[in-house]
Amino acid sequence: MDIQAGLFLLGTDTEVGKTFQAALLARHLVSCGWKVGVYKPVASGVNAAEKSDAEWLWEASGRTVELARVCPQQFQAPLAPPVAAALEHREVDEELLVSAARWWRNRCDFLIVEGVGGALSPLSSTMTALDLALALQLPVAVVAANRLGAVNHVLLTLEAIANRGLRTLGIVLNDLPRTADTAGSSGENPAANHNQELLARFTPIPIVHSAVQLPLGLSNPRAAL
């Protein structure tokens, strides 16, 4: 392993709170006096009018390097990175996906890598988020939205990680703002109250329930940072 200390945050899907958790971890480690590296290997759906995931990570880590070091490859279309890149007549540089992470070696005490989408989401035409975690030989934390279906999604992700020979250090069940697809007619998310206990029956891996409850109407969970 050529990155001395770090963690790769793999999601069970897109929009499950990876950036939120990565930024919280970065901010905590910075407050403890650590020099923290943050890395988003590739991003799509980047809109100049909105703050990007990379910018949230960059700010949480103290802006110690140029923003381009946090996310060197960005594309505009809100599609899988290789598709978004093709629309711009570009390709995702697979060598850069790895080398830009290794650039942080000896430049930080701890590197936080935020994956893209789910564990098997394509970063390029041949590489998935899990492939990159394997290339970097970093331990993994799995982030899932705490809603109905989370147990299945987490267990499938854990199986994929184990099949690659990587170690999962923990699972984060992340509470997100209630939306039509996560809440019932009453506006509640009943599965959220049972997911942690049910999941613990199937895995010994530590589970953290991120009880960040945001007010209704607050559409961006990163606004709580």
Q: Within 61-149, where are the H helices? A: 67-70, 81-87, 94-102, 129-136
Sheet containing 140-145: which strands, arranged edge to edge?
36-39, 110-118, 6-11, 140-145, 168-174, 207-210
Residue 40 appears among annotated catalytic residues: yes
Residues flagged as binding site for Mg(2+): 19, 53, 114
* Residue 51: count of CB within 10 angstroms of its CB: 14
Half-sphere exposure of residue 83, counting CA atoms within 13 Å on the CB side?
7
Residues flagged as binding site: 15-20, 44, 53, 114-117, 174-175
Residues flagged as binding site for ATP: 15-20, 53, 114-117, 174-175
Residues flagged as binding site for substrate: 44
Give the active site residue among 6, 9, 40, 108. Answer: 40
- Give which of 24, 62, 20, 60 is closest to 220, Cα–Cα: 20
H/E element, 150: helix 150-163
Q: Is the Cβ–Cβ distance between 88 and 15 less than 8 Å?
A: no
Q: Is the Cβ–Cβ distance between 12 and 116 less than 8 Å?
A: no
Q: Which residues are catalytically annotated?
A: 40
